[in-house]
Amino acid sequence: MKCRYAEKNDAKEAAYLIHLAIHDIAESLTGESEQTKIREVLAQLFSQEDNRLSYQNCLVMEVDNNLAGIIIAYAGDDAEALDKPILERLYRKSDESSISLDKEADHGDYYLDTVSVKPEYQGKRIGTLLIQEAEKLASRKGYNRVSLNVAEDNPRAKQLYIKLGYNKVKVIEINGHEYDYMVKQSTPVKES
């Protein structure tokens, strides 16, 4: 297994994994309802810079040179700026300027937006390893709080996050569904 920073050419597989993880939220982010079109737009966003789904915010795990999983993570303080290009695309698509995206990350947190592992690689600790790599990255960037959201109807993922040291601090709503906002506190290690 090898963890590395994502590259633009990971877009097609990343789009599949993002859609697998975020389901109907992908429809809100893309303004599309058909699976092929959703994944096409997700791949475009992934290939672009400076948005929440960009390859710039993504680590990937490879197994035998195959992309097995991804994690998208960024500073909660950057969330609004990272959502701006997505919102601008949605405004252009619908000619409606009142579209908004739900606030998913708190200021001051390093936010784990999306963790996704291909079904054939699940149960092999890939999700755990990706989370641990993102936590190390957060620590090097000086963050002592790492956060994530887990759907209330996903007890398997929630158990993993609890095992990794995350604690529920509140319930938030994203795209009409309730999510547990979970936080892990640590001591940051600044890069020198």
CATH number among 3.20.20.220, 1.10.10.10, 3.30.465.10, 3.40.630.30, domain 2-185: 3.40.630.30
Q: What is the pLDDT of residues 97-147, one digit of tens each?
A: 778 999 999 999 999 999 999 999 999 999 999 999 999 999 999 999 999
Q: What local confidence, expressed as pLDDT, does residue 95 receive?
A: 76
- C-beta of residue 117 within 8 angstroms of C-beta of residue 14: no
- C-beta of residue 30 within 8 angstroms of C-beta of residue 19: no
Q: What local confidence, expressed as pLDDT, does residue 1 receive?
A: 94
Q: What is the pLDDT of residues 19-78, one digit of tens each?
A: 999 999 999 999 999 999 999 999 999 999 999 999 999 999 999 999 999 999 999 999
Q: How confident is the model at residue 173 (pLDDT cuts 50, 70, 90)?
A: very high
Domains of the chain by residue range:
2-185
